[in-house]
Structure 1
């Protein structure tokens, strides 16, 4: 179930009523009550999930969901006792169900200083806006024109810069977030449908642990359903991008213009050089490093240094670079001698 501090749960529906809204067809279990959405692996009896790719067939076979949305060809794979809705665009249908069952809380009214701040040691510079249910720990300073969304929790002795937006976020103690950062915006997710691409609601959170630094104009997206997590004492430079569902360990260092696609897992003590990029669903082991400009498209074992595009172990990259340069050099010399 999405965090109720950030998302309102709307009235439940039967599977039949939900199918009418999302454009699906009920195969069985039309009277099943559906109150939430969830992935196959974490859904409970009150949730609806979906099968968008055959690689998740094992998760479908073991799901505890009350209802699933699947292509017609996958109906027989659904466990007994689970309601079934068929759709030719299962993920898009699930996205429509998300919109019907959950609604993000909006900043309809500002909270007072007394309600939001732990004590008088909190400093709010001019123009700060605080949503209902937000909390700010003692000794924290919030910069001018920063917007703190409903339900956001900020720990003690933090320094939040000016023009920052914080939403769907839980922040630990001694965190620094510099000017212009955007934390908790919706991650990039879309599903194909007959009417075109459909935005997939992002129902997760951002969790920033103690001692983290987030640079100016950096963006950290909230999770699609699970959380985006930034581990203790991690340091992120300016103009970085961290996609939804990424999990960074402790003491990670990320230089400017680096970017992580969705669902990347980064171990403790990993380092990224400037403009390093990582593809989605990649795992980078503890103590590894990605050189500046590296483009990572495969898992990196712990302790290894990778470079290049596509990135590969540093020694291999250097050997290949030397080999290529040797192939090119003779051709250049031949042309010069002919001239």
Structure 2
């Protein structure tokens, strides 16, 4: 049985040890308010409970202040509306938003991506009609089909397939195992993580006339993905039956998410893991869908709405509204129902 030790952790995280900063340098980078100081060099960020003396941590809520007292971290990034003592040889950096500040610190310590020894690996198969922009990197065993167009700085890690007549915009990164089917249109600065499927057939079947089988409905559309879209590992975006399945600019999609044929997502939507859109769902701008939520076909969720985790949406949702439950309804009403049901259960027990 594997026994985890801190030594094994440190050995497998050597990239963090290659960078170190003084607390003053980090504060200059964040433009925060430095309270106290530490002589320890900061070699990486870490959560409060696991942090050691060369770590910086963050506190974004008052409920974590107690953990600072027992944490071994030398420094913490903290919301400026919170108050806590620094302690001996420890420092605080006060900022408006600790979560966003920590994101910047993570960038400081972010290890370099995998190295390409050659810009285009000799085992890659690239059709003679394909067009590659400047500084593209194509990994081992990639396939690029007929009339594909790659913009400048596109990175395809090993074992990526891009099929015929697909267009990918500048500086998009596609990780190993991803398959982008024919005629897809992909924007710039996108990130597709491992084993993403884009443009596979939508799920379309009807019972045959004789009732003895199922007839497959051809899916002749395609997929359009905007700029700055990120799609997590093992997620699927199906091609449309006709026209296009569309994902708007800036959408962020978690792992194991299903987006069915002819669905349309507005800008800056978020979908958490295991959630899914059935066919022809429309999302406005800024919609948030919690983990494991499912949305019925031909449903419209208007801009700014939030769907709670595990919810089942069977009808349209108004702009800015938060819904919860199965079937989903106004979150406040659903919470009241749960309170009543809990009281009834206690009375009967």
TM-score between the two structures when normalised by the length of structure 1: 0.64
Q: Which residue of 2 aligns with 1:147?
A: 161
Distance 1:226 1:319 in 2: 43
What secondary structure, in the 3-state scheme, does the structure 2 residue paired with 1:316 have? helix
Q: Please state whether the residue corresponding to 1:310 is helix, strand or coil.
A: coil
Q: Work out the CA distance in 1 between the residues paired with 2:315 and 2:338.
A: 20
Is contact 1:111-1:133 (8 Å) kept?
Answer: no
State how 1:55-134 maps to structure 2 within 5 Å.
111-112=126-127, 115-119=130-134, 121-134=135-148
State the Cα deviation string for residues 55-108 of structure 1 (Å, max 9, x = none): xxxxxxxxxxxxxxxxxxxxxxxxxxxxxxxxxxxxxxxxxxxxxxxxxxxxxx
Quick check: 1:301 aligned with 2:315? no
Q: Deviations over 1:180-238 (max 9, x none)?
A: 00000000001111141110000111000001001111000000112100000000001
The structural deviation recorded for 1:111 is 3.6
SS of the residue 2:130 aligns to: helix
1:200/1:321 CA distance change after superposition, 3 Å: same
Give TM-score scaled by structure 2 length.
Answer: 0.62
> Equivalents in 1 of 2:177, 2:128: separation in Å?
18
* Structure 1 unpaired stretches of 5+: 1-109, 333-339
Is 1:266 matched up with 2:280? no
Cα displacement (A) at 1:112: 3.7
Find runs of 4+ consecutive structure 1 residues off by over 2 angstroms.
Answer: 110-116
Shift of 1:118: 1.7
CA RMSD of aligned residues (A): 1.4
Matched, 1:206 2:223: yes
Change (3 A) 1:156 1:122: same
Provide the C-alpha distance between the structure 2 equivalents of 1:331 and 1:145, rounded to a whole number of angstroms. Answer: 59
Report if the CA contact (8 A) 1:116-1:130 is conserved.
no
- Shift in CA distance, 165/214, structure 1 to aligned 2, threshold 3 Å: same
Matched, 1:190 2:205: yes
Residue 136 in 1 paired to residue 119 in 2? no
Do residues 231 (structure 1) and 248 (structure 2) align? yes
For residues 179 and 136 of structure 1, the distance between their equivalents in structure 2, rounded to whole angstroms, comes to: 19
Equivalent in 268, 278, 295 of residue 251 of structure 1: 268
Describe the SS at the equivalent of 2:246.
strand
Count of equivalent residues = 223
- Tell me the residue number matched to 1:314: 331
Alpha-carbon deviations, 1:254-278, whole Å to 9, x = none? Answer: 1111111000000000001111110
Q: Does 1:157 align with 2:167?
A: no
Residue 171 in structure 1 maps to residue 186 in structure 2: yes
Tell me what 2:5 maps to.
Answer: none
CA distance in 2, matches of 1:216, 1:327: 42
Give the C-alpha shift of residue 114 in structure 1.
7.8
Work out whether residues 314 and 327 of structure 2, in 8 Å CA contact, stay in contact via their aligned partners in 1: yes
Structure 2 unaligned segments of length 5 or more: list them.
Answer: 1-124
| Within-5 A mapping of 1:1-12 | none
**Paired residues of 2:128 and 2:146 also in contact (CA < 8 A):** no
